[in-house]
């Protein structure tokens, strides 16, 4: 049993490291060859975990080989459009300006019901609203609405707006995030002064404290409600 | 570390382990087969007195060599595939101590066959791939 325990830990760590190496896309949007690798991964990893007659190396070597293969295929498909099309396939337009493209729909083995279902998944209920609908290589549908059905934007209304900023967390569950403090070019005293103005005695009482480039702070204590505070902050465009 | 460098290191490590494994198994099984041949000759030459020091010493050499390599090989190959040789060694020892020539001969031939098959199955060949 102890051997199994150790083997499970080793295989788990190896698989985790290998999945991390493959990149974030594997976790969400899988290309066909990536999906194949992930499916095989699941099976391969479990065999040496429990069968102690199988050496760990026999379990790890196929996993590493698959990751190298995946990396090689990604590299080749990134360098060559021909290989990219060969390995990943091409996005297919199923609805164009002139309506549904039946040949493409047939080539994808999709029915009208499937198309409608995919459109509903994109919050579109009527074919007439769609300028283009594209089935991406990962199987997801992308929809470009006709201008008349697109949501109104600030640009359409000629409204002047400031750019969105990206907030970073300076205090996380009662602890300073040192990396983000450096990024924002502030120190513990900066946080302490904010907290004292809000009558918060200790950093340990803070659940989260975020700040954006414009000095807008989101502060929530562990026992209280959240607060939005605006301060003068010179750290704009630091991150 | 640059990802490309990491993958190159990973590839080199992978090739190193797999090629190293093949060389190790090949060398070990070749030596083992040579020792088995030598043991066969010793048994035939001493068929009247198999539990003599000469035969038992030859047997211990053979057993010690296999046991010293078995653990390392267990890093690479399925334990089930190498356990047959160990079983033959145990039975051969009993046969030698009992001075049973027929059984000793059978066991040494069996050991040769098992080692040979293990070598064939574990080393690279087109036949093994398909």
Q: Where are the domains of chain A?
A: 2-85, 92-149, 168-238
Give this prediction's pTM: 0.65
Chain A residue closest in CA terms to B71: A55
Q: A57 contacts in B (CB within 8 Å)?
A: 17, 21, 75-76
Residue A208 contacts residue A218 (beta carbons within 8 Å): yes
Confidence of residue A74 (pLDDT cuts 50, 70, 90): confident
What B16-20 contacts at long range (C-beta under 8 Å, 24+ apart), as own/partner pairs, is: B17/A57, B17/A61, B18/A61
Q: Encode A22-40: b = buried (16+ Cβ within 10 Å), e = exposed.
A: beeebeeebbeebeebbee
> What is the DSSP code (8-state) at residue A129?
G
pLDDT at residue A94, rounded to an integer: 94
Each residue of A123-169: pLDDT tens digit? 998 999 999 999 988 788 999 999 888 888 888 888 888 777 788 99
Query: Which among B14, B77, B79 has CB closest to A64?
Result: B14
A29 CB-side CA count, 13 A: 7
For residue A16, pLDDT beyond 80: no
- Which pLDDT band, with edges at 50, 70 and 90, does B1 fall under? low
DSSP character string of A8-77? HHHHHHHHHHHHHHH-GGGTSS--HHHHHHHHHHHHHHHHHHH-TTS-HHHHHHHHHHHHHHHHHHHHHH
Angle ∠(A221,A223,A227) on CA atoms, nearest 5: 40
Question: What is the pLDDT at residue B68?
Answer: 92
CA distance B82 to B37: 19
Instruction: Let me know: does B62 contact B36? Beta carbons within 8 Å.
Output: yes
SS (H, E, C) B49-83: CCCCHHHHHHHHHHHHHHHHHHHHHCCCCCHHHHH
B88 domain-assigned: yes
Spell out the residues 6+ positions from residue A100 whose beta carbon is closer than 8 angstroms to its own: A94, A112, A115, A127
Query: Which comes out higher in pLDDT, residue B109 or A6?
Result: B109
Number of residues written out for chain A: 239
**B86: containing domain:** 25-124
Q: Best residue in A24, A58, A66 to probe B by mutation, most B CBs within 10 Å? A: A58
**pLDDT band, residue A73 (cuts 50/70/90):** confident
Cβ-defined contact of A58 to B76 (cutoff 8 Å):
yes
**CATH label of the domain that carries residue B50:** 1.20.120
Pick the CATH number of A168-238 from 3.30.365.10, 3.40.50.300, 3.90.550.10, 3.30.240.20: 3.30.240.20
Note the CATH architecture for domain A92-149: 2-Layer Sandwich (3.30)
Q: Mean pLDDT across chain A, nearest whole number?
A: 84
B94 inside domain? yes
Residues B7, A68: C-beta atoms closer than 8 Å: yes
Averaged pLDDT for residues A113-127: 92
CA angle centred on A61, ends B21 and A22, rounded to 5°: 150
- pLDDT value, residue A29: 64
Model confidence band, residue A66 (pLDDT cutoffs 50, 70, 90)? confident
> Bridge-partner residues for A143, per DSSP?
A133
Q: Give the residue on B whose Cα is nearest the Cα of A22.
A: B3
The pLDDT tens digits for B85-100 are 999 999 999 999 989 9
pLDDT grade, residue A11 (50/70/90)? confident
pLDDT band (50, 70, 90) for residue B18: confident
Residue B27, burial from CB neighbour count under 10 angstroms (0-12, 13-18, 19+): exposed
**CB atoms inside a 10 Å sphere around CB A212:** 18
Inter-CA distances, A37 with A32, A67, A153, B7, B18, Å: 9, 8, 41, 17, 21
ipTM score assigned to the predicted complex: 0.73
Residue A95 confidence (pLDDT):
95
Q: Nearest Cβ partner of A53 from B6, B11, B78?
A: B78
Alpha carbons A108 and B26: distance in angstroms, whole number:
51
Summarize pLDDT for A18-43 with one digit per residue, the tens: 776 766 554 456 777 777 777 788 88
Least confident of A18-22, A169-173, A223-227: A18-22
% pLDDT > 70, chain A? 91
**Cβ atoms within 10 Å, residue B69:** 19
In this prediction, residues B35-58 reach a mean pLDDT of 90
Q: How many separate domains does chain B show? A: 1
Query: What is chain B's alpha carbon radius of gyration, rounded to the nearest angstrom?
Result: 18
Strands A168-172 and A92-96: unpaired
Which chain B residues have a beta carbon less than 8 Å from that of A55?
Answer: 74-79
pLDDT for residue A236: 55
Quick one: pLDDT band at residue A49, thresholds 50, 70, 90?
A: confident
């Amino acid at each position: 049993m102890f051997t199994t325990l150790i083997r499970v830990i080793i295989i788990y760590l190896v698989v985790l490291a290998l999945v991390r190496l493959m990149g974030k896309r594997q976790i969400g949007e899988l290309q066909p060859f990536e999906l194949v690798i992930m499916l095989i991964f699941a099976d391969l990893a479990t065999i040496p975990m429990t069968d102690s007659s199988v050496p760990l190396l026999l379990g790890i070597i196929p996993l590493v080989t698959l990751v190298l293969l995946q990396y090689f295929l990604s590299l080749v498909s990134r360098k060559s459009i021909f290989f990219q099309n060969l390995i990943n396939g091409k996005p297919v337009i199923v609805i164009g300006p002139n309506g549904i493209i039946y040949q493409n729909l047939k080539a994808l083995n999709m029915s009208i019901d499937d198309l409608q279902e995919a459109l509903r998944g994109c919050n579109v209920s009527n074919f007439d609203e769609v300028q283009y609908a594209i089935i991406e290589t990962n199987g997801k549908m992308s929809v470009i609405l006709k201008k008349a059905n697109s949501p109104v934007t600030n640009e359409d209304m000629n409204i002047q707006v400031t750019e969105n900023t990206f907030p970073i967390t300076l205090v996380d569950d009662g602890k300073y995030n040192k990396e983000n403090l450096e990024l924002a070019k502030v120190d513990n005293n900066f946080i302490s002064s904010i907290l004292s103005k809000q009558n918060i005695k200790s950093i340990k009482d803070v659940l989260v404290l975020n700040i954006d480039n414009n000095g807008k702070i989101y502060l929530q204590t562990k026992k209280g409600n959240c607060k939005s505070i605006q301060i003068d902050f010179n750290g704009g465009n630091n991150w | 570390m640059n990802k490309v460098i990491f993958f190159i290191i990973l590839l080199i490590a992978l090739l190193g382990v797999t090629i190293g494994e093949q060389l190790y198994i090949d060398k070990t099984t070749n030596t083992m087969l040579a020792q088995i041949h030598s043991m066969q000759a010793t048994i035939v030459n001493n068929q009247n007195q198999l539990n003599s020091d000469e035969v038992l010493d030859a047997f211990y050499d053979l057993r010690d060599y296999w046991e010293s390599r078995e653990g390392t090989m267990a890093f690479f190959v399925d334990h089930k595939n190498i356990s047959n040789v160990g079983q033959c060694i145990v039975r051969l020892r009993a046969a030698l101590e009992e001075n049973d020539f027929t059984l000793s001969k059978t066991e040494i031939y069996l050991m040769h066959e098992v080692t040979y098959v293990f070598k064939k199955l574990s080393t690279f060949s087109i036949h093994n791939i398909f």
